[in-house]
Structure 1
Amino acid sequence: MTTAIKEERVVSTQVKASVDNSAKVDKKDAKLALAHIYVAFIALFIGGLCGLLQVLVRSGQFELPFGIGYYQVLTVHGVLLGLVLTTYFILGFQTAAVSRTAGALSNGQRKLGWLGFWVMTIGTAAAAVMVLLNQASVLYTFYAPLQAHWIYYAGLALVVVGSWIVSLAQGLRFVQWKKENKGQTTPLLSYMVVVNNLMWFVATLGVAAEVLLQLLPWSMGFVERIDILLSRTLFWYFGHALVYFWLLPAYMIWYTVVPKIIGGKIFSDALARLSFILFLLLSVPVGIHHQLTEPGIDGFWKFLQVVLTLFVVVPSLMTAFSMFATFELRGRSLGSKGLFGWFKNLPWSDCRFLLPFIGMVAFIPGGAGGIVNASYQMNELIHNTIWVTGHFHLTVATAVVLTYFGAAFWLIPHLNGRKLTKRINNMANTAGILWAIGMTIMSGAMHIAGLFGAPRRSEYSTYGGSELASEWISYQIAQAVGGTILFLAILVILGVVINLLWFAPKGDQEFPVAEVAEGASKTPAILDNFKVWGVILVALIFIAYTVPIFDIINSSPLGSVGYPHLIGR
């Protein structure tokens, strides 16, 4: 009897928390979240401009002025869009999400958040200065033996440490909620934030070790040589989980926000939590699949991590099933019939839905390309070609970033007390459509050119005289056309953001969070037990990495700068 009453209380608490859409982000927390979003959109403009210059140079129709180097521009583009835009937006969105669903941060938690923000920003500024001075043109992967100024590496280390501090503030608020609501199922959105932060912390231990133990001492002259294979292995221990750090906030929006926007409900709270747990477990012990062509790593360990990588298809398919089930249930509640009758009842004119939906669609071919990248034989064809760049632009630069934009268009006015008007909504839809067109052209050309062997990261002058140049150049010109359309979309997006920040009418904009559908199964308590999942995660990491790293260290001649492990994505 007591157990039944307790379970009923848990369910009623879930419903009460989810339907309270009058709840708002605390005003002080909103300032912290907005600070992150400001930096994110500044990074979008500068990084997007550098991306435009990059594709123009690759087309062979443009030369950079004032002695600016191609790889300097490429580094700015990769670092600002791949690291700065994403990290700042994610942490800003997550701060708002925790405040909205778990309650306002305490003064101490908020101070931690601000401390983390400023540590990140100081690090970002330091790294940016070195890139602008052409002292750090090492791309966002900063592979050795390319060497940057030590301030660049120190700046990146500060960005990582700062992100830990902001994540800690969010996690402490989640723990506080659990103490205040003992025995109750945690808010789904806050739960997802904690899973993403836990994954981020575990993953960034690898890149932190690479920077602090190898790259910084090397760049400061304390050591003459470092083991390049070890540095790359530590980077990719982090690098693939970075992809999921980008992706999971988009999944948060797809699972919890989009259903509310379309007037529907979350298909299954338990299914959403399980998919996030699977991403947590499978995010880190898979990085070696980026190193399939590198000598020095035994084939068994490459095969094991390829298998673990392909298991990630499971939570992705779970998410696709959950989302389209939500769409169909909503459509049928509005009277739609037939297999795809629900499709016409979706709110296509609402930018809060349209942009994330375009992202969902883009993730289908993006995910298929990811399977190619992670597969032994198929990877041999496209390895280190511009196919991989096209894949990143479908997954991160479309599925993820368009979802971020769709969220920003309601989040910004919610945080600063303004309204998303019909005119601004139409501008946002225009930007989303331009983005879809530009990315289809640019990413499609990248994929095709990659199949012809066009190299990744190379400027026009490095392959202009090759036998295959005539095959490649037409696709490079297509990339320039697509990139130009994308930059126009960025300008429209920035116009939307500026309007929402300072010119939109004052008002209340909802932070939409959907309730769980009636009849959904009860969420098992074990999904909230992070101790269990943490132990499994650590075990998987030890299994996947202990022997490979031991072998690398044991057989290394303390790799000179000419160490032969230089081929990789």
Structure 2
Amino acid sequence: MSSFTEKIKKVDPRDAKLGMAHFYVAFIGLFIGGMAGLLQTLVRSGQYTLPAGIGYYQLLTLHGVVLALVMTTYFIMGFQLVAVSRTAGTLSNKQRTTAWIGFWLMTIGTVMAAVMILLNEASVLYTFYAPLQAHALFYVGLTLVIAGSWLGSAAIIMAYVAWRKQNPGQPSPLLTFMALVNTLMWVVATIGVASTVLFQLLPWSLGIVERVDVAVSRTLFWYFGHPLVYFWLLPAYMAWYVVVPKIIGGKIFSDSLARLSFILFLLFSIPVGFHHQLMEPGIDAAWKFLQVVLTFLVIIPSLMTAFSLFATFETFGRSKGATGLFGWLKELPWGDARFLIPFIGMLSFIPGGAGGIINASNQMNQVVHNTIWVTGHFHLTVATAVILTFFGISYWLIPHLTGRTLTKAMNKLAILQGVLWAIGMTFMSGAMHAAGLLGAPRRSAFSEYGGAAQAAEWIPYQIAQAVGGSILFIAIILVLYIFINLAFFAPKGEEEFPVGEAANLAEKAPMVLENWKLWLGIVVLLIAFAYTIPFIDLIENAPIGSKGYKLW
């Protein structure tokens, strides 16, 4: 084994400290957001009233912002930074300092936004649409979070560039390549939300301007909002493609296929925000149709990923002597939480992806739009496929970074946690999907919305959501217990940071996949093509309410 490989086998303690700082905030966010989610489900069941003047929409905002924006962003930034450190070499002092500054900017911004939500000065939901208005400090906090994430992203980009300079003509390590793709997608996407916050919502909340263009604000948000989904998802894909094969003792089916799928996500994830606005006026139907088509193209890398993963599993099983159509399933390490928890996440992404196709289809979207079906969809994709995979990553990454080991007892507890999560989410997300088909609205507390008879029809599903939410909160308590144990109390030792090898080591990934002038150029062209004309139309031909003479 080369000295370079030895050098990067374990994450440097300085980089481990940086990663753990991100994970501490992420898991604190998990507890706060999980508590808010539990209280929401209890209120929706009609069996619980919030104490001390706490508002339902205050809770809803806290739950969405802390879990969908704070917890995920911190975990992803921490994971990607240590993944780059592990595979491309220890971060330089400049790179590490840049990432630390980014972390503290994000943290200051998070505290500012959280305080405003807790004071009920920013109950604007995690989408913070105008004409709902929050306190200016909420928007300042969001701006700092975005700016901080850009600095963390800069550290990853600098590390990649440094590796390429030291290894000319060689494809970068797969995990580093994947982290870079997700980072580039995040930077391009956040330009939209940064624009609406800095140039519309913040001046409006400060009283500098009297009105904002609502349609433009929503369009800028969803320019960011859809790639945000893939920013959540791609780190899970990183674990599925690269880490899980090593855990089971197999090989990565194809290094090049994995890289190509990530490039396709980069191309097709950003210029598709209009499919979240299919029911909105001011956007020509032809442009909505175009973006629906572009959205469906994302199905291709998703299917490539499914093929690659199950090819890896089957190849491994066959190597162990498995026969028959599904005999290889018996050979997989079902007793290993590092494999089982992400695998449950993979399975949940199958119905989650199917629901996404429905949401992006113009006609079917009209049936479920703004119903709690959409909330159920997010809980299948983000809150199950992604978050369970993040938990699976934590069970080996936290002890790796803290110099401890995953014990058999913690492994069994982790399996119990994953199973409880799957059961709880089956109750909650399943009930949300069913109630959504009956017309139950999203973003609303328990009420006789739509009439007493219809509200009564939704009650059993809302109670099922409360049952599922309660089970999920128990699973969150278990996750936090395991995290604290692995961070502070588990036996000292060395836990592996698993990085798989390609099945065909002679296969060299085409260097065209690392031609960033080409790929970013195509991204810019796709964005310009998908947004320029409809955006101009939106401003020039917007209805009076949207143009700002009055708010709606």
**Which amino acid in 1 is paired with 2:518?**
V
Segment drifting more, 133-142 vs 555-564: 555-564
Segment drifting more, 455-464 vs 166-175: 455-464
Q: Does 1:129 align with 2:129?
A: no
Q: Does 1:100 align with 2:86?
A: yes
Confirm or deny: 8 A CA contact 1:236 1:287 kept in the other structure: yes
1:78 aligns with 64
Confirm or deny: 8 A CA contact 2:429 2:465 kept in the other structure: yes
CA distance in 2, matches of 1:98, 1:202: 20
1:408 aligns with 394
Q: Does 1:206 align with 2:214?
A: no
**Which amino acid in 2 is paired with 1:336?**
A
Report deviation, 1:465. 4.5
* Other structure's SS at 2:282 match: coil
1:534 aligns with 520
**Which amino acid in 1 is paired with 2:248?**
I
2:432 aligns with 446
Report deviation, 1:464. 8.0
Structure 1 residues 18-417: aligned runs within 5 Å:
23-417=9-403
CA distance in 1, matches of 2:389, 2:505: 28
CA distance in 1, matches of 2:5, 2:261: 23
Confirm or deny: 8 A CA contact 1:228 1:559 kept in the other structure: yes
Unpaired runs of 5+ residues, structure 1, are: 1-14, 565-569
Confirm or deny: 8 A CA contact 1:19 1:514 kept in the other structure: no
Confirm or deny: 8 A CA contact 2:150 2:187 kept in the other structure: yes
Report deviation, 1:518. 2.4
Of 473, 476, 481, which aligns to 1:495?
A: 481
Confirm or deny: 8 A CA contact 1:46 1:80 kept in the other structure: yes
Q: Closer, same or farther in 2 for the Cα pair 1:520/1:76, shift >3 Å?
A: farther
Confirm or deny: 8 A CA contact 1:189 1:252 kept in the other structure: yes
CA distance in 2, matches of 1:562, 1:358: 49
Q: Closer, same or farther in 2 for the Cα pair 1:371/1:17, shift >3 Å?
A: farther
CA distance in 2, matches of 1:414, 1:95: 14
Deviations 1:105-137 (A, max 9, x none): 111111001000000000000000000000000
1:509 aligns with 495
1:559 aligns with 547
CA distance in 1, matches of 2:3, 2:119: 51
Report deviation, 1:336. 0.4
Q: Closer, same or farther in 2 for the Cα pair 1:181/1:536, shift >3 Å?
A: same
**Which amino acid in 1 is paired with 2:547?**
G
* Other structure's SS at 1:467 match: helix
Report deviation, 1:184. 1.0
Deviations 1:250-304 (A, max 9, x none): 0000000000000000000000000000000011100000000101000010000
Q: Closer, same or farther in 2 for the Cα pair 1:520/1:545, shift >3 Å?
A: farther
* Other structure's SS at 1:257 match: helix
CA distance in 2, matches of 1:64, 1:343: 47
**Which amino acid in 2 is paired with 1:122?**
I
Report deviation, 1:18. 11
Unpaired runs of 5+ residues, structure 2, are: none
Q: Closer, same or farther in 2 for the Cα pair 1:439/1:18, shift >3 Å?
A: farther
Report deviation, 1:528. 1.1
Report deviation, 1:554. 1.1
Q: CA RMSD in A?
A: 1.5
Output the TM-score relative to the length of structure 1.
Answer: 0.95
CA distance in 2, matches of 1:107, 1:519: 33
CA distance in 1, matches of 2:371, 2:550: 23
Report deviation, 1:67. 0.3
Deviations 1:145-171 (A, max 9, x none): 100001001100110010000010111
Confirm or deny: 8 A CA contact 1:279 1:312 kept in the other structure: yes
**Which amino acid in 1 is paired with 2:90?**
A
Report deviation, 1:470. 1.7
CA distance in 2, matches of 1:17, 1:265: 23
CA distance in 2, matches of 1:239, 1:58: 26
* Other structure's SS at 2:252 match: coil
CA distance in 1, matches of 2:5, 2:339: 19
CA distance in 2, matches of 1:454, 1:18: 57
* Other structure's SS at 1:460 match: coil
Confirm or deny: 8 A CA contact 1:52 1:487 kept in the other structure: yes
Confirm or deny: 8 A CA contact 1:145 1:562 kept in the other structure: no
Report deviation, 1:352. 0.4
* Other structure's SS at 1:137 match: coil
Confirm or deny: 8 A CA contact 1:360 1:399 kept in the other structure: yes
Confirm or deny: 8 A CA contact 2:271 2:526 kept in the other structure: yes
**Which amino acid in 2 is paired with 1:543?**
F
Output the TM-score relative to the length of structure 2.
Answer: 0.98
CA distance in 2, matches of 1:17, 1:53: 53
Confirm or deny: 8 A CA contact 2:211 2:551 kept in the other structure: no
* Number of aligned residue pairs: 550
Report deviation, 1:521. 4.0
**Which amino acid in 2 is paired with 1:547?**
I
**Which amino acid in 1 is paired with 2:492?**
K
CA distance in 2, matches of 1:18, 1:295: 57
2:414 aligns with 428
Confirm or deny: 8 A CA contact 1:268 1:520 kept in the other structure: no
CA distance in 2, matches of 1:430, 1:232: 41
**Which amino acid in 1 is paired with 2:320?**
L
2:405 aligns with 419
CA distance in 1, matches of 2:369, 2:225: 16
1:460 aligns with 446
CA distance in 2, matches of 1:224, 1:253: 47
